[in-house]
Structure 1
Amino acid sequence: MKISRILFLLAVLLTAGLGYSQESEGEETLSLESGPISSQFDYVAKKSGNYRADGVRYEVVKEANLYKLRGNVLDSIAAFNKKTSELNSTISEHETTITSLNKKLEETTTNLEAVTEEKDSMSFLGILVSKTTYNLILWTIIAGLFILLGTFIYKFRNSNILTQEAKQNLAELEVEYEDHRRRALEREQKISRKLQDELNKQKKAK
């Protein structure tokens, strides 16, 4: 009986707000065999009678209709629970799919970053460095080679100048040596002639 009263109160609450609107919308086929639960409550309420006793109004509901409505409510709840379970399973599958997609997206992002870094990098002595660093190292080496080349050219020119000066000094020294040797030879010849003259004079004097 408590269940009957609870269901009756639910029927009254549901039908109270819907009675006038349904009447204004026109006649509607009410049944316990089909339609939403709200219309089934309307059907039970419509088929119920009422009476007064001791100044209190009572609603009389057919027990078969009450049990039928109870079964329909339980079936609706079971269907709702089944649908909820199916939705939870679908949500779980979607969450698994989203997790898998997020993992793949993470891997793809990591691979893309690696490819981008490799694209923006150069290998120098087996070490992967950025293009900016690579260009800096390359131009530093080129600048160093130019400095070494300039130093070599400078030293070569200085050496060439020193060599030319040494050759010129040697040529001048050779000229001086030849001049000195010639003068020495002339002095030697003069002395030899004088000595010979003296010898000839001494021979004549004897």
Structure 2
Amino acid sequence: MKVKQLFIAITLCFSIVASAQNVAKNANLKLKEGPIDEQFEFIIQNSNKYKNYKVVKRVWIEKLQKNVADSINAIRKDFDAEVAKVATQQSEIEKLKADLAAVNQKITDLNTEKDSISLLGLQLSKGSYQTLMWGIIAILAILWLFFAYKFKSSNAITKEANAKLTETEQEFEEHRKRALEREQQVRRKLQDEINKNKS
């Protein structure tokens, strides 16, 4: 009977030691690989109870503390990296905005240049240019009509003056012929009188 009790006691001790080793291995595995919330859950569930308290192994608490500090440091590094990334992206966005503004200004300038015509160094819109050109054409047409009217009027006056000049020349020619005939007659008469006086 004593042998049987001894055997049971030895078996029970081995099973307790094996169970403790299994829990220790499981604890190391859970505290190394699991997320922080699972590590907390593991410590809460596998801690011993004493009245209303939990008795937690110091090694587990220190491991959990180290894991939390490592997680916080990793999160802080990720956060710093993300802040740097955001700052870089923000500077790139500002540069792209400046480039976009420059491109938009260039497009505006090109559209203005496309929709305008340079005349004597001035940029005029196509509408203003057309208005100016049609205005110049209208002024030139009015001037042409005015000068054509003046030319026609002057031409009529010139023709009338030429006609009067021709008429005057004809009258003068007739007057000259008559004067010449009278002079010839007077000379003949004078010659006749001279001839009479001689005889």
- Report the TM-score when normalising by structure 1: 0.72
Aligned match of 1:150 in 142, 145, 148? 145
Whole-Å separation in 2 of the counterparts to 1:71 and 1:48: 19
Say yes or no: does 1:123 pair with 2:125: no
Whole-Å separation in 2 of the counterparts to 1:199 and 1:111: 113
The Cα of 1:169 is off from its aligned counterpart by 0.5
Deviations 1:158-184 (A, max 9, x none): 111111001110111122223333344
Say yes or no: does 1:169 pair with 2:168: no
Aligned to 1:12: none
Deviations 1:125-163 (A, max 9, x none): 122222222222222222222222222212111111111
Aligned to 2:40: 41
Aligned match of 1:60 in 45, 52, 55? 55
The Cα of 1:195 is off from its aligned counterpart by 5.8
Say yes or no: does 1:75 pair with 2:70: yes
Counterparts of 1:162-201 in structure 2, within 5 Å, are 162-189=157-184, 191=186
Aligned to 1:111: 106
Unaligned runs of at least 5 residues, structure 1: 1-29
* Bigger helix share: 2
Aligned to 1:32: 31
**How many equivalent residue pairs?**
171
The Cα of 1:193 is off from its aligned counterpart by 5.7
Unaligned runs of at least 5 residues, structure 2: 1-28
Amino acid at match of 2:79: T
The Cα of 1:187 is off from its aligned counterpart by 4.2
Match of 1:85, SS state, is helix
Provide the alpha-carbon RMSD of the alignment.
2.4
Deviations 1:19-63 (A, max 9, x none): xxxxxxxxxxx81121211111110111122232xxxx2222222
Deviations 1:86-130 (A, max 9, x none): 101111111111111111111111211222222122111122222
Higher relative contact order (CA 8 A, sep 6+): 1
Higher mean C-alpha displacement, 129-138 vs 92-101? 129-138
> Equivalent pairs: percent with the same residue?
43
Amino acid at match of 1:109: N
Aligned to 1:138: 133
